[in-house]
Structure formats: structure tokens, C-alpha cells
Amino acid sequence: MQTIYARSLAGRYKIQYRRERWDTPDGDFIDLDWIEPGGDNTKLLVLFHGLEGCSRSHYALSVMTRARQFGWRGVVPHFRGCSGAANRLPRSYHSGDSTEIDWILRRLKNKYPKSDLCVVGVSLGGNMLLKWLGEANGDAGRIVNRAIAVSAPVDLHAAAGALDLGPQKAIYTRRFLRSLRGKVLAKIETHRLNIDAAAVRQCSTFRAIDDLYTAPIHGFKDADDYWTRSSSKPWLHQIRVPTLLINARNDPFLPASALPHEGEVSDSVTLEFPSSGGHVGFLAGSMPGHLEWLPKRVLNYFDAGS
């Protein structure tokens, strides 16, 4: 319930973004929303959003507001189809698309070679970022200075099991699937995909929609193959960039038993697992609460690495 409630608090944040569109190497596009610096433009804060998120998600608004207060430049790259405009290709985005993360971050570094890149990934975006950090290993340090993953489903098998079979299915899974089903049905019609539209309409689990669309359209055998190859947990011991991993122990998207322990991460990774916070909730203060804990933690961690 924390995440849903937290979204209702996002209205207090007033951000004006500047939108920029990039064409991708494969003929598609992504949209990026920027905040411009008011002071120290040697820092660039990059935020990768979560599943079906965007630059208007409560966590993006709160973190970018804090970055603006610090005088930093900030950007929220939208994954394909998440900016409000349907992307051009049959493919979309997925939890393990570290190739897309690599392309975005390298282009940002080329655009601002003198800026320190501080990168935060939230939920699905956090898993993608962690996977890229591990795969890139020492090379990642030539591109980014510090990284944070928030509420990242580092074990996608465990996360899908919790969302498909747990009590949170009624709250979270139905909401996400409603959005995902609509996008997949539009792609079936636009691109004449050989996918059973009736079966998509009946999807009530992540396994079902990943088996029907996400896995095959992105080159995986099935949902199990997709989750295995896309989980970031096996890559955490390869990370060489200073990285903070924040996950609440009561996160409904990932059981506490699936959280990584010290022996599964490199010395560059700091684990921070508060007892509460839900999934990207982290409400603080007396009722009705506020969203300031997370943006303060994010900016303080990045600022400490200056």
C-alpha cells in the first residue's frame, strides 16, 4: 500500500522538463526528460525508471527536485514506449536490457565528458543498471562515478513468484498487467505479430505475459529463460563502481529471503536493507508522511563521492 499512497504525494513536486528525442541504433527512439542546472553543472544525475514508470513517477519527481536544489543537471531516459508515445518497433523494453543502458550511458558521457555521471535505477531500472555494472566490470568506471539501485528485483524468479502468487497480486500485478496488456495488444495490431490476442487479454500473471510476449520478442526461449538471464544478482560480485543497493525488507516485489548477502556482492557494493519502505515507498515523518527520505539518501550518497 505504501507505493500507491506515495504516488498521491507526488503532486507537491513541480518540475518542468525539457524533452529530447534520440534515435536508437536499430531504428527506434527513446525520449529523455531533462532538468537544467542552476549551479554546479559538473554533475549529471541519471535516473532509470521502473516498470511502466516515467519522469512523472513519484520517485523521479522527488529525486529530480532534490537534484535541482543541488544545482545539478538531471535526466530521466524513458524506456521504449514509456514516454507517452508508442515506440516504432515490435520490441519494447525488458528487465535485463543492459545493452540499452550501455548505449544510453555512453552517449550521455560523450555529450558531457567533463561531468560526473551519478546513476540511480529504480525497480526494473535498478535491475537493468546492476546487471550492466556487473557486465561492464572495470569499464563501467570510465563512464559513471557512482550508482544506486532502489527496490531492484535482483532475482526475477523470486520477484515474479511473489507478484504472481502472493497477496500483492490483487494490488500491484493487476495494475501493471492492465498497462502491459494494452501495449502488447497495440503492437499485435500495428505490427501484425503472430501472438494470440485473446490469450494476451486473459493474462493475469507476469509468467503468462512474459511467455507470450516479453520473452520471445526479445530473444528469450520463455519466461524462465528470460528471468534467469536477466536477473542482476549473479552479476553483483563483478561490480567495480561504488554502488549502493537499497531494498526494504518488506518490499512486496522481492521476498527478504531473496536479498543478496555480503558474500554475493563485491567490495564496491554497499547493502542497505531497512526493515520498512515497501516498494519504492520509504515514506517518512508523521501522517500523511512525505517522500524526502529517498531523494536525500540518493543525493547524499552521490555528493559524498565528490
For the annotated catalytic residues, the residue numbers are: 123, 251, 279
C-alpha to C-alpha distance for 167 and 172, rounded to whole angstroms: 9
Positive or negative: CA dihedral 15, 18, 23, 29: positive
Q: Which of 30, 50, 242, 45 is nearest to 127 (CA)?
A: 50
